[in-house]
Homo-oligomer: A and B are copies of this chain.
Amino acid sequence: MDTTPPRWKRRKEARPAEIIESALTLFVDKGYAATRLDDVAKLAGVTKGTVYLYFDNKEELFKAVVRETVLPNLEFAETVVAEHQGSSEALLWHLLERWAERMTESPTTGIAKLMIAEAGNFPELARFYMDEVVLRSRKLFSAVIERGIQSGEFRPVDVALATRATTAPLMMTKVWSQSFALCDPEIIDLRTFARFHFELMMAGLRA
């Protein structure tokens, strides 16, 4: 009986996703350039050649990582907004809380750090990210704030600025902790910080 494990297994359907996940981890961790395809392959349990079966080259793999990883979260959030019943303040908090949770769970948010680092080197991808992720996210938050203003819940502030004021702190904190997790002695809990900033800000936002 030959008990040596087969040198490889056919996994055609699962492979791309596995490779993308490995690549995501390493890209986020080490950056684009410092990530070797050899390591991506090893982490995915295959060899370098296999990566090239599914992706034309490193750059295409990078783009696939961004594209595939980033959209699902957003779609979910858009559903939440569409279906929401209740006050705009409650909705705003709901979105932020969900976001904070997501950030804590999945490596997906690492993409933001990646894009910050590599946008300059991949203009085309930057544009995709800007259009499909950033602008869509902003539109989401803007809509909620706009609604609050219309309904008289919020003061008539500049919506674009308020949108940034709402999202930037959470984003920065996540990106930051991703980078400095190992040497920041004052890690703060994401949800706690989100709530703290939300309340501070709402004091100025409420009509």
**Chain A residues packing against B (C-beta within 8 Å):** 29-34, 113, 115-121, 123, 126-127, 130, 134-135, 138, 157-158, 160-162, 164-165, 168-169, 171-173, 175-176, 179-180, 182-186, 188, 192-193, 196-197, 199-205
Report yes or no: A188 in contact with B161, Cβ–Cβ below 8 A: yes
Distance between Cα atoms of A158 and B193 in the complex (Å): 10
Report yes or no: A126 in contact with B180, Cβ–Cβ below 8 A: yes
Report yes or no: B180 in contact with A164, Cβ–Cβ below 8 A: no
A160 CB to closest chain B CB, in angstroms? 6
Can you report 26 A-B residue pairs in the complex whose CB atoms are below 8 A from each other? A117-B118, A117-B179, A119-B179, A119-B180, A120-B179, A123-B182, A126-B180, A126-B183, A134-B184, A135-B185, A138-B186, A157-B200, A158-B196, A162-B196, A164-B173, A165-B193, A165-B196, A168-B197, A169-B169, A172-B175, A175-B175, A199-B204, A200-B205, A201-B204, A203-B203, A204-B204
* Residue of B whose beta carbon sits closest to that of A179: B119
Distance between Cα atoms of A27 and B28 in the complex (Å): 18
A96 CB to closest chain B CB, in angstroms? 13
A33 CB contacts on chain B under 8 angstroms: 31-34
A115 CB contacts on chain B under 8 angstroms: 179
A180 CB contacts on chain B under 8 angstroms: 119, 126, 130, 134
Report yes or no: B164 in contact with A168, Cβ–Cβ below 8 A: no
A188 CB contacts on chain B under 8 angstroms: 160-161, 164
Report yes or no: A165 in contact with B200, Cβ–Cβ below 8 A: yes
Which 4 A-B residue pairs are closest in the complex by CB-CB distance? Answer: A33-B33, A203-B204, A117-B117, A200-B204
A175-B175, A202-B204 are known; give 7 further A-B pairs, CB within 8 A. A31-B117, A31-B120, A116-B116, A161-B197, A168-B168, A172-B172, A200-B205
Report yes or no: B123 in contact with A113, Cβ–Cβ below 8 A: no
